[in-house]
Amino acid sequence: MDIPPSPAAPENNPDMADAAPDPKAPAVIRREDYAPFAWLVPEVQLDFDLGLDATRVVAKLTVVRNAKADPSPTIRLNGDDIVPLGVSVDGEPTLDWSMDGSDLLIPLSAEAHEITIATQIDPSANTQLMGLYASEGMLCTQCEAEGFRRITFFPDRPDVLSVYTVRMRGDFPVLLSNGNLVAQGTCEDGVPWAEWHDPWPKPSYLFALVAGDLVANSDRFTTMSGREVALNIYVRAGDLERTGHAMESLKASMRWDEEVFGREYDLDLFNIVAVSDFNMGAMENKGLNVFNTKYVLADSDTATDADYDGIEGVIAHEYFHNWSGNRVTCRDWFQLSLKEGITVLRDQLFSQDMGSAAVKRIADVRVLRGAQFPEDSGPLAHPIRPDSYQEISNFYTATVYNKGAEVIRMMRTMCGEERFRAGCDLYFERHDGEAATCEDFVRAMEDGAGLDLSQFRLWYSQAGTPKLSLRLEHEGDAATLHVTQEVPPTPGQPVKQPMPIPLQIALFDRNSANHNGEKLLTITESQASFSFSGYPKEPVVSVNRGFSAPVIIERDVAQEELVFLAAHDDDPFARYEALQDLVVGHLKAAVNGTLDEAAHAEGEAAIAKAIGAVLTDDALDDLMRGELLVLPSETYLAETIPVADPGAIHAAREGLKAHLGRVLAADFHALYDRAEKVPFSLSAEARGARKIKSLVLSYAAASDPAKAAELAAQQYAKADNMTDRQGALMVLCGLENDAREAALKDFYARFTGNALVIDKWFALQASSLHPRVLDHVEALAKHPDFTMKNPNRVRSLHMAMAYNPHAFHDASGRGYRMIADLILALDPVNPQTASRFVGQLGRWRRIEPVRSAMMREQLERIAAVASLSRDTREQVDKSLG
Ligand code: TRP
Ligand code: ZN
């Protein structure tokens, strides 16, 4: 590899000085500007000489003119924080290249060339965790969305698909990349090497490499056509015993995708590697998924039931990407929801099938309302297919992922499972091996499922959560439902068109508590009326059953009707929703001060009656009972109020919890006593019992703190699993009590060395209801185990605090200051993670004036820093703008 030295370091390259962008004018990338790349790169060969502090990379690219693109006399290869150490064209070293910003430009004259480029990187200095980085002595990569350009110069865009051959040498027992292992051995100097080949053309964002001292849990899977696939989950030696659940989840996912979507795996090998330093949950690199340890490692002593569910869902999600994402990928990053929306839907449906479908649906709606609705109603609102961005990492959002999944779920609801499957089949068949668009998916659904989606496309282009107002009119034997819809204005989209909204409803007879079948209404205009005859008595309407559309519903409904539905609705989601509506209605009125004493007492009594029925209904399983007992979150409540007072919301909600805990104490404790007798297992029954125990403790904490502390201390001491232990510690953390300190100390000592459990120790304290929670967070930020270099740890402490309304919205404004300080300190280290905090401060317009001003002040303090990353700059400017 004789490659000449660099002709000019980038800092004294005149081309670069010319191209220096105006720092005040952020570069905006627009969807409408898409143009295909001028070159195809059918083959790539990468040679790595691996070291933790210095890794040399030689990339050999076969490039051919793209007949479908405008011809160009040069090729533009993206780079980020790298310099070319040498460039060859067709085997000849050349100095004929230049830099444009961080891109490398090479003039090319013929139809086809071979380009060789050498770079060197320092993985240990890579704190952004994008590209090739070191994590606890191992090397791994994260290339989505634009991390590959931190490894070598390349057309780092998802519509350039290449076949990769990867050779690497380095002092690591395990050397992995995508595809199949071709050969391996030991160099003369004793250093191990390996060669990998991935036969499936892929974009650079799906490239992966891992090198480390790892051990594998190995298993096999036989595909529907009888092919054998070797499965490995690579972890550090001490973690091997905690990989069983991940492996079971993987095999279940592979089988389910064959049975439900007809999708078979397409390599002889599927590897998963767990790393502790990771920006997100996991990554679907072809044949080599890289995972945050949080979504791999579990045993009953260290992982909660929720952790088990998280692992099952994320393993499935990444595996499902093999078809929805990898075999069919995205043309450009505006199409991100093409792969994420469908893959989230697929993992949700999988988890519905693996456990309780009703409970899973409720949990998914809770996530949507807690994370996506606030996004859609704030300054960062964007359609599931955005029209522009400054930094694509900022668009891995609940909107693109979760609302994206809801949009596809609506298609499925409108055509039914079978036709939906036909549409998906056509999509995969038509676009296999291609980089596709959301429009391609919609067209495949039209052609394959027979849907007319012309108006439905608005769900891709319009941001904002539609609001439906419902009114029932009853006359003679006819019931008429009048519906109006309004899509609120969002940044850049002041005026909206009405969207097609599939609304599943049922009309209940008040006496028999039965209905005569579900009806699917589709609201396509801003106003519509639907009449139903055969109702001599006014029916009780159950709406948005199964949460058939991601909308907000406003209706003037009598408390007693909600109590009726909370007791009788046969759709589990609608039953949950009735209870939520009952509570939201009461708390909103309480916060607004529109309730006199009598009305307040009446509201509390109605809720107590409904919750009391849930506590004693023998037909309910405990997992579902648990869902019904969770009060709407403070975030969701704030979302239903135009300008919210977080302090008043907190007080009202805690007040209601205390009231319910008091008046229903006997039922709560009877339930606790029953649940306590259920021995540990992973069965639905035992999991339900654990959920009930923690819920009873949290109601007790509000109504009878002394009793709660006693029970929680007992539960903590007796716990033979992490769910019980964490549930008890969570309650203790919020109380001023000796048992609190003792339990925290015990927990820390018991689990030192287990980073994922120490994360819980941080998170429990940061999300607590303790009056001095902010003092605790401040002290924990100085704890020797705290580091800003590990995203899981930052999420455990600061993210947990930022999403704890009682802490973040502390009336002094200190929570806002602490988060702004964190953003400023973290931004230079890990901009992707830092920018994820901005959205919380960005809620200022929806918060009462005193807090609002303090939130805004912190945003302005951040905005004043000139050296902000592109990630944080975009979010801060939009939040203020
Ligand atoms: N594509 C991944 C998924 O949804 C997530 C992902 C995107 C990611 N960008 C990342 C993971 C950066 C880690 C780091 O499954
Ligand atoms: Zn994904």
Tens-digit pLDDT profile for residues 678-710: 999 999 999 999 999 999 999 999 999 999 999
pLDDT in tens, 229-287: 999 999 999 999 999 999 999 999 999 999 999 999 999 999 999 999 999 999 999 99
3-state secondary structure 169-214: ECCCCEEEECCEEEEEEECCCCCEEEEEEEEEEECHHHCCEEEECC
Ligand 1 site-directed mutation target among 289, 336, 396, 397, most atoms within 8 Å of CB: 396
The strand pair at 288-292 and 269-275 is best described as parallel
Structure tokens at 236: 């550090």
Q: Please indicate whether residue 43 is annotated as part of the active site.
A: no
Q: What local confidence, expressed as pLDDT, does residue 453 receive?
A: 98
User: Atom 3, ligand 1: which residue's CA is nearest?
Assistant: 283
- Ligand 1 center from residue 314 Cα (angstroms): 11
pLDDT band, residue 26 (cuts 50/70/90): confident
Does residue 339's CB lie within 6 angstroms of at least one atom of ligand 1? Answer: no
- Environment class of residue 522 by beta-carbon count within 10 Å: exposed (0-12), middle (13-18) or buried (19+)? middle
pLDDT in tens, 331-389: 999 999 999 999 999 999 999 999 999 999 999 999 999 999 999 999 999 999 999 99
Q: How many CB atoms lie within 10 A of CB 632?
A: 21
Q: What local confidence, expressed as pLDDT, does residue 13 receive?
A: 44
Ligand 2 (ion): residues with CB under 5 Å are: 340, 343
Does residue 282's CB lie within 6 angstroms of at least one atom of ligand 1? Answer: yes
Is the pLDDT reported for residue 449 higher than 70? Answer: yes
> For the chain, what is the radius of gyration of the CA atoms?
28
Q: What is the DSSP letter of 292?
A: E
Please identify which residue in the block is written with the tokens 């790393």.
275
User: Atom 10, ligand 1: which residue's CA is nearest?
Assistant: 144
65 forms bridges with which residues in the sheet?
Answer: 39
167 forms bridges with which residues in the sheet?
Answer: 47, 195
Q: What is the C-alpha to C-alpha distance for residues 709 and 723, in angstroms, rounded to an integer?
A: 17
Does residue 645's CB lie within 6 angstroms of at least one atom of ligand 1? Answer: no
Mean pLDDT of 101-123: 98
Among 275, 296, 390, 395, which residue's Cα sits nearest to residue 338? 395
pLDDT band, residue 712 (cuts 50/70/90): very high
Q: What local confidence, expressed as pLDDT, does residue 21 receive?
A: 52
Within 13 Å, how many C-alpha atoms sit on residue 449's CB side? 26
Burial 237-248 (b: 16+ CB within 10 A, else e): eebbebbebbbe
Among 260, 359, 826, which residue's Cα sits nearest to residue 621? 359
CB within 8 Å of 656: residues ≥ 6 apart: 583, 586, 587, 590, 604, 607, 631
Q: Which amino acid is at 362?
A: I
Q: What local confidence, expressed as pLDDT, does residue 10 receive?
A: 38
Q: What local confidence, expressed as pLDDT, does residue 20 receive?
A: 52
Does residue 575's CB lie within 6 angstroms of at least one atom of ligand 1? Answer: no
Using alpha carbons, list the distances in angstroms from residue 254 to 63, 265, 377, 506, 567.
35, 7, 37, 36, 39
Average confidence score pLDDT of the chain: 96
Does residue 283's CB lie within 6 angstroms of at least one atom of ligand 1? Answer: yes
Q: What is the C-alpha to C-alpha distance for residues 777 and 789, in angstroms, rounded to an integer?
A: 17
Q: What local confidence, expressed as pLDDT, does residue 737 receive?
A: 86
Ligand 1 site-directed mutation target among 275, 283, 311, 339, most atoms within 8 Å of CB: 283
Strand locations in 80-179, DSSP E? 86-89, 92-93, 98-100, 103-107, 112-121, 131-135, 138-142, 162-169, 174-177
Which of 318, 406, 639, 874 is catalytic? The answer is 318
Q: Count, in order, helices (H) and strands (E) of the chain.
A: 32, 31
Is the pLDDT reported for residue 127 higher than 70? Answer: yes
Is the pLDDT reported for residue 6 higher than 80? Answer: no
Q: What is the largest CA-CA distance in the chain?
A: 93
pLDDT in tens, 87-105: 999 999 999 999 999 999 9
Q: What local confidence, expressed as pLDDT, does residue 18 receive?
A: 46
Closest ligand 1 atom to residue 278 Cα is 13
Q: What local confidence, expressed as pLDDT, does residue 48 receive?
A: 99
Does residue 396's CB lie within 6 angstroms of at least one atom of ligand 1? Answer: yes
Q: What is the C-alpha to C-alpha distance for residues 818 and 774, in angstroms, rounded to an integer?
A: 9
Using alpha carbons, list the distances in angstroms from residue 827 to 168, 625, 824, 866, 873.
32, 43, 5, 12, 10
- Main-chain dihedrals φ then ψ at residue 57, nearest 5 degrees: -125, 130
Does residue 284's CB lie within 6 angstroms of at least one atom of ligand 1? Answer: yes
Structure tokens at 159: 């519509």
Q: What is the C-alpha to C-alpha distance for residues 557 and 606, in angstroms, rounded to an integer?
A: 14
Mean pLDDT of 847-876: 98
Please identify which residue in the block is written with the tokens 């089988």.
255
Reported pTM:
0.97
pLDDT in tens, 292-316: 999 999 999 999 999 999 999 999 9
